[in-house]
């Protein structure tokens, strides 16, 4: 059986779980011990994933990290049912969409979690960062809606990889009250996606996990929980006005960067 190391609130892990459910593949979901601390007591997880981030997939002798790599592997290893799009230009657009979501969009929802869950900013600074996030998300939603066009799905006529790559992140923004404009074509797409059993199941798990974030800010303050500030996330925080958050986190040793290898 496939093993997936994950966390319900990780949108990267969510998109892998949606694909697994859409393909009807059996898998065991595991939460790595000590996730978020910058270390883990789970030797399999730490030895197989130098980022110390979820998701991590184990399929027999094969171990893979990075959600896009995992999804491409699963599509090739278990091709039925295939999740389009299939025409070359459409597949190129899908890869572009996934890259934008994984970097630009994810950085914003991650930053919102830093503010709302981990209390990195309060008062005027928090207001400024949330306003920046709202502006950036509105422009990304316009871009996604342009990609949607008159189609029912971002992947075309049928639900596919573009959709499962986007909806966990859009749902994440919605949890912070910064989702697509109600009544817009993109909001209608989101409703259709959330009506699918695979998406509904994964989204429900994420919503249930929000309650576990109570009190996590204290753990961060104590340095027992170190958030990963790699590449696009660090860029977002600095360019959106949160440089002091980065320097404070470095002083308190409650942020971390990828050590690879």
CATH value at residue 9 = 3.40.30.10
Please state, in angstroms and rounded to a whole number, the distance separating the CA atoms of residues 37 and 200: 29
The two three-digit tokens of residue 169, written as one number: 């992140």
Q: How far is CA 233 from CA 17, 49, 238, 240, in A?
A: 23, 19, 9, 11
Please state, in angstroms and rounded to a whole number, the distance separating the CA atoms of residues 57 and 54: 9
**Can you tell me which residue has the tokens 């696009």?**
232
* Domain match, 169 and 97 both: yes
Q: Is residue 190 one of the residues assigned to a domain?
A: yes
Q: Which of 136-140, 209-213, 238-242 bottoms out in mean pLDDT, i.e. has the lowest?
A: 209-213
Please write the tens of the pLDDT for every residue from 168-196: 999 999 999 999 999 999 999 999 999 99
pLDDT at 40 over 70: no
* Domain match, 40 and 95 both: no
Q: Is residue 108 one of the residues assigned to a domain?
A: yes
Mean per-residue pLDDT, 2-15 = 97
Concatenated DSSP letters of 221-258: HTTSS-EE--HHHHHHHHHTT-HHHHHHHHHHT-EE--
Residues 6+ apart with CB under 8 A from 1: 26, 27, 28
Bridge partners of 27, per DSSP, are: 2
- Cβ(108)–Cβ(136) below 8 Å: yes
Number of domains in the chain: 2
Kind plus residue range of the DSSP H or E element containing 13: helix 11-23
> For the CA atoms of 209, 1, 4, 68, what is the dihedral angle to 10 degrees?
-130
* Domain match, 10 and 116 both: no
pLDDT at 238 over 90: yes
Kindly report the CA angle at 234 between 187 and 218, in degrees rounded to 5? 85
Q: Is residue 125 one of the residues assigned to a domain?
A: yes
Instruction: Give the pLDDT band of residue 261 (cuts 50, 70, 90).
Output: low
Quote helix, strand, coil % in the chain, to nearest 5.
60, 10, 35
Instruction: Give the pLDDT band of residue 41 (cuts 50, 70, 90).
Output: low
Domain boundary among 212, 231, 254: 212
Mean per-residue pLDDT, 212-230 = 88
Please write the tens of the pLDDT for every residue from 138-170: 999 999 999 999 999 999 999 999 999 999 999
**Enclosing domain of residue 154:** 88-212
pTM for the model: 0.95
Q: Is residue 64 one of the residues assigned to a domain?
A: yes
Q: What are phi and psi of 87, to 5 degrees?
A: -70, 140
Instruction: Give the pLDDT band of residue 96 (cuts 50, 70, 90).
Output: very high
């Amino acid at each position: 059986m496939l093993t997936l190391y994950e966390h319900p609130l990780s949108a990267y892990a969510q998109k892998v779980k949606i694909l697994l459910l859409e393909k009807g593949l059996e898998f065991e979901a595991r939460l790595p011990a000590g996730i978020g601390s910058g270390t883990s007591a789970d030797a399999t997880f730490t030895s197989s994933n130098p980022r110390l981030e979820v998701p991590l997939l184990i399929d027999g002798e094969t171990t893979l990290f990075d959600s896009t790599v995992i999804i491409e592997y699963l599509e090739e290893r278990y091709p039925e049912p295939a999740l389009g799009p299939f025409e070359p230009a459409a597949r190129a657009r899908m890869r572009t969409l996934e890259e934008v979501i994984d970097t630009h969009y994810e950085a914003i929802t991650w930053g919102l979690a830093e503010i709302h869950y981990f209390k990195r900013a309060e008062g005027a600074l928090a207001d400024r960062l949330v306003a920046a996030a709202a502006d950036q998300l509105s422009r990304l939603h316009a871009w996604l809606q342009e990609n949607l066009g008159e189609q029912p799905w971002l992947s075309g006529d049928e639900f596919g990889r573009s959709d499962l790559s986007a909806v966990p992140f859009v749902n994440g923004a919605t949890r912070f009250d910064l989702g697509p404009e109600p009544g817009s074509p993109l909001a209608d797409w989101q409703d259709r996606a959330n009506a699918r059993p695979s998406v509904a199941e994964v989204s429900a798990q994420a919503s249930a996990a929000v309650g576990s974030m109570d009190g996590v800010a204290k753990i961060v303050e104590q340095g027992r929980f170190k958030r990963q500030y790699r590449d696009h996330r660090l860029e977002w925080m600095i360019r959106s006005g949160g440089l002091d958050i980065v320097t404070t986190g470095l002083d308190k040793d409650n942020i971390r960067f990828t050590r690879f290898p």
